């Protein structure tokens, strides 16, 4: 099975050149692509955690991504999630109506 590329190798090469690289090898582009994919995958996994906590299963919002970027924790299990919930509470203070409404909807589903 052939791996489908998430990012264009040409675009990655152009990005590296725009940011100071004079010459870029194919191996460097492939390495950068794999690191970029891993970073995006990890970020989206953390953002999905915040979206699920807010009662959304399919929609990841900008606030979920911002919280995932601010978070230095990687939730591996239920026990690791307690410190992250405090960050969600901080986000609630910034936009209380929207998050509380999603909690009410989530509570109704239970």
Q: What is the pLDDT of residue 95?
A: 52
Encode pLDDT of 10-36 as tens digits. Answer: 999 999 999 999 999 999 999 999 999
Q: How far apart (Å, rounded) are the C-alpha atoms in residues 102 and 110?
A: 13
Kindly state the average pLDDT of the residues 42-69: 92
Pair 81, 75: CB distance under 8 Å: yes
pTM (two decimals): 0.58
Residue 103 makes CB contacts below 8 A (sequence gap 6+) with 54, 55
Mean pLDDT, the chain, rounded, equals: 77
Kindly state the average pLDDT of the residues 87-92: 53
Kindly state the average pLDDT of the residues 80-95: 53
Kindly state the average pLDDT of the residues 51-73: 88
Q: How far apart (Å, rounded) are the C-alpha atoms in residues 54 and 105?
A: 9
Q: What is the pLDDT of residue 7?
A: 85
pLDDT over 70 (residue 61): yes
Domain 9-109: CATH superfamily, name plus number? Histone, subunit A (1.10.20.10)
Kindly state the average pLDDT of the residues 93-101: 51
Pair 81, 89: CB distance under 8 Å: no
Other CB atoms within 10 Å distance of the CB of residue 12 = 19
Domain boundaries, the chain: 9-109
Residue 44 makes CB contacts below 8 A (sequence gap 6+) with 60, 68
């Amino acid at each position: 099975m052939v791996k489908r590329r998430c990012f264009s190798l040409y675009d990655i090469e152009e990005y590296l050149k725009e940011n100071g690289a004079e010459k870029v090898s194919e191996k460097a582009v492939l390495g950068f692509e794999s690191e970029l994919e891993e970073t995006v995958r990890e970020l989206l996994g953390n953002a999905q955690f915040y979206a699920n906590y807010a009662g959304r299963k399919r929609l990841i919002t900008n606030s979920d991504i911002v919280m995932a970027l601010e978070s230095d924790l990687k939730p591996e299990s239920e026990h690791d999630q307690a410190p992250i919930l405090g960050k969600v509470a901080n986000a609630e203070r910034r936009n209380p109506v929207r998050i509380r409404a999603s909690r009410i909807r989530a509570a109704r589903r239970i």
